[in-house]
Structure 1
């Protein structure tokens, strides 16, 4: 059993307008004028893999506009473990909550591979939102969507077995961040199976068994650090029927 999902090779950053931001992401859903206004903020920065960008509980308020790459948000549990809270990719914002309310950071954000972003001060971010109400509304809607997704994630898992929970996690990832491939989608990001187990709310051995069941059903296939959704409709049926 391979120990993780896909690790995408490092890529040279493309011109801004050519980045394939997913439609559900903030940048993917903005009109050109609002997107340009947001991307004019701050300075472009590049980070290597495994770099901590934001630490839980620290008192900072800068915002990162992710242009390319993947980051994960983790939180420390009462027993000292790091729990995976969310994964964000190019097109998303990270750090906006502290910029809006001035509170401490609610999670630690770490790069899962090379990342390109724009780093924006909290003051500049808030000023832009005030000057462009439509952009501010879009940012607020993105924040609300994240909160709704987190709530739905918790509610959906009530009473579900591990295979169903894993199918729902993979379906959500594929629909949001996957690249269409035939009837399915390819998922290319460096998320380990222990982290996938955290998202599914299950023990790692149980996730291994669930992945095997999904492979045997023909819904997914796995290779060396890769997972592909072979049949998105079938995965949807397993997840929600």
Structure 2
């Protein structure tokens, strides 16, 4: 496993880098994408900026650390150990999202491990500075609370939506949710620009890996998705939506 955040960062690119990323835009559903410009700038003034390579552990499950990470660029995966010692993929987060806020709020050990899926740029903010900001700035506090509620709603939706669904439908719903939230829209489809392995898709879909392999092959054969090096391309969001919800 890699080292944690404070041991493995590279020098900051500073305010100009933040502004260039802001001009490109973060997903509207993300914390940064949903904040108004002045509030976003106040949030991004916290902490220090750091850069990380692929496959670096930023937060480790059960650790006592309490800093938060404001993701600016890149994608991370959130995993937790199961009772049979497997790594279960809980979620993916990308530029614009906040990670680590649960431990910052309640001071308890980390509930999951966060690992980079490629190069990542983030603001690293200590607990005291983060909590002081949310106390002083109701707008940011409201946005952070909204981000937490959204994560809990998505977790609940997974449990409800998956009840009674077969594995192929669950896989289609997982891919649709990821593509709509984090994919880069291209025409009628979208591209997911990070390595999402079949074991990870299996844990997200609540299915055995061979079952996911067969379902993914059917989606490829019917022209719904295609796979390449470190990417999944949804050829038609309409077709994927039909496979997921019809």
Query: Which one of 224, 231, 235 corresponds to residue 229 of structure 2?
Result: 224
How do residues 137-152 of structure 1 correspond to structure 2 at under 5 angstroms?
137-152=142-157
| Residue equivalent to 2:191 | 186
| Residue equivalent to 1:205 | 210
Cα distance in 1 for residues equivalent to 2:232 and 2:49: 31
2:71 matches 1:66: yes
| Residue equivalent to 1:122 | 127
| Residue equivalent to 1:99 | 104
**Distance change >3 Å, CA 225–CA 114, structure 1 → 2:** closer
Cα deviation for residue 18 of structure 1 reads 2.9
Asked whether the equivalents of residues 41 and 120 of structure 1 are also in contact (C-alpha less than 8 Å), the reply is yes
Structure 2 residue runs without a partner (length 5+): 1-12
Cα distance in 1 for residues equivalent to 2:128 and 2:21: 24
Asked whether the equivalents of residues 196 and 231 of structure 2 are also in contact (C-alpha less than 8 Å), the reply is no
| Residue equivalent to 1:195 | 200
Cα deviation for residue 135 of structure 1 reads 0.9
Cα deviation for residue 193 of structure 1 reads 1.5
Query: Which one of 30, 41, 45 corresponds to residue 50 of structure 2?
Result: 45
Aligned CA RMSD, in angstroms, stands at: 1.4
Cα deviation for residue 218 of structure 1 reads 2.3
Structure 1 residue runs without a partner (length 5+): 1-11
| Residue equivalent to 1:20 | 25
Cα deviation for residue 170 of structure 1 reads 0.5
Partner-residue secondary structure (3-state), 1:60 = coil
How do residues 80-95 of structure 1 correspond to structure 2 at under 5 angstroms?
80-95=85-100
Cα distance in 1 for residues equivalent to 2:108 and 2:228: 42
Cα deviation for residue 204 of structure 1 reads 1.4
- With normalisation by structure 1, the TM-score equals 0.92
Structure number with the bigger relative contact order (C-alpha 8 A, sep ≥ 6) is 1
| Residue equivalent to 1:173 | 178
Cα deviation for residue 105 of structure 1 reads 0.7
Cα deviation for residue 73 of structure 1 reads 0.9
Per-residue Cα deviation, 1:72-100 (whole angstroms, up to 9, x for no partner): 11111111111111111010000001111
Asked whether the equivalents of residues 67 and 116 of structure 1 are also in contact (C-alpha less than 8 Å), the reply is yes
Cα deviation for residue 163 of structure 1 reads 1.0
Cα deviation for residue 109 of structure 1 reads 0.8
Per-residue Cα deviation, 1:50-76 (whole angstroms, up to 9, x for no partner): 111111111111000000111111111
How do residues 155-170 of structure 1 correspond to structure 2 at under 5 angstroms?
155-170=160-175
Cα distance in 2 for residues equivalent to 1:208 and 1:112: 21
- With normalisation by structure 2, the TM-score equals 0.90
Aligned residues: 230
Cα deviation for residue 46 of structure 1 reads 0.8
